[in-house]
Structure 1
Amino acid sequence: MFGKKPAKAAIPLEKSDIKAFLGPGSQFEGNMTFTEIVRLDGLFRGEIHSQDTLIVGQSGELQAEIKVGTLILSGKLKGNVTADIRVELRAPAEVEGNIATPVLTVEEGVVFNGSLRMRGAAPELPGKGGADGARKGEK
């Protein structure tokens, strides 16, 4: 009862499982598509598309529109996320944007300012500035 935490999803994080890595201090701007697991610890601006897993480390900063299978975020994100499988927000993650996913886990210490949509498979989020699931003026 006490002292036990629920087991985290079995997402492989071995170095050999990660197929691409953008390290701390590096910057990239553009469109990224990938298969298998990618880890970002640098600065990325643009769009990311994949059916696989994107891992953003604590030093990672994204200004991006993201559509992936799974997102594991420990860094900073400004933009919208659509994940077909799940989103994991791990401390000290900071998110400013909207998330659409069927499964969301949030650790204590995460900052999330945006809207969340969870209905089975994640629907596409509308573009910036449009009226989405959260109507203006509602709390």
Structure 2
Amino acid sequence: MFPDSKKTKQDINQNSVQNLISKGTKIVGTFESEGDIRIDGIIEGEVRTPGKVVVGKTGEIHGSLESSNAYFEGTLKGKLTLTETLTLKPSAKIEGEVIIAKLAIEPGAIFNVTCDMKNTTKDIKGDSKAQKTTK
């Protein structure tokens, strides 16, 4: 009985799994995960996850990042695509192209990018209430 309930719990909490790229680790290529990722090392290439990505002070991404949310204390040089929020702490350094829904920047962060902020509200044709909420 426990193995079945444990399996179900793991399936439900799949996005709560966190992968750690430690300081001193370098990955070259594509890194994909179904769960959250914390990066304190260096990744050269692509990072993709439906979860959250945290880049610590020593963390670097040289390439592209696709995820739902990202929290940066470290560096990104390349393309960043998020479906939700980008949070930049004072030590963050972002250079390149950014496509996001929401942005939070603390004083001191470096944000040298072309930025496209996507509207997260869905438009429903013919529904005047939906049109009022998007304005």
| TM-score of the two chains, using structure 1 as the length reference | 0.72
What is the total number of aligned residue pairs between the two structures? 105
| Structure with greater helix percent | 2
Question: Gapped runs of 5+ residues in structure 1?
Answer: 1-16, 122-139
Q: What are the superposed Cα offsets for residues 65-89 of structure 1, whole Å, 9 maximum, x if unpaired?
A: 1111111111011011010011111
What residue is the counterpart of 1:92 in the other structure? 91
Runs of 4+ in structure 1 off by over 4 angstroms are none
Alignment of 1:1-139 (within 5 A): 19-121=18-120
Which amino acid counterpart does residue 96 of structure 2 have in structure 1? G
Q: 1:18 to 1:110 in 2, by over 3 A?
A: farther
CA contact (8 A) 1:98 1:115 kept: yes
Alpha-carbon distance in 1 for matches of 2:41, 2:17? 15
What residue is the counterpart of 2:12 in the other structure? none
RMSD (Å) for aligned C-alpha atoms: 1.2
Give 1 or 2 for the bigger CA radius of gyration. Answer: 2
CA contact (8 A) 2:60 2:74 kept: yes
Q: In the TM superposition, what is the alpha-carbon distance from 1:97 to its structure 2 partner?
A: 0.8
Q: In the TM superposition, what is the alpha-carbon distance from 1:119 to its structure 2 partner?
A: 2.3
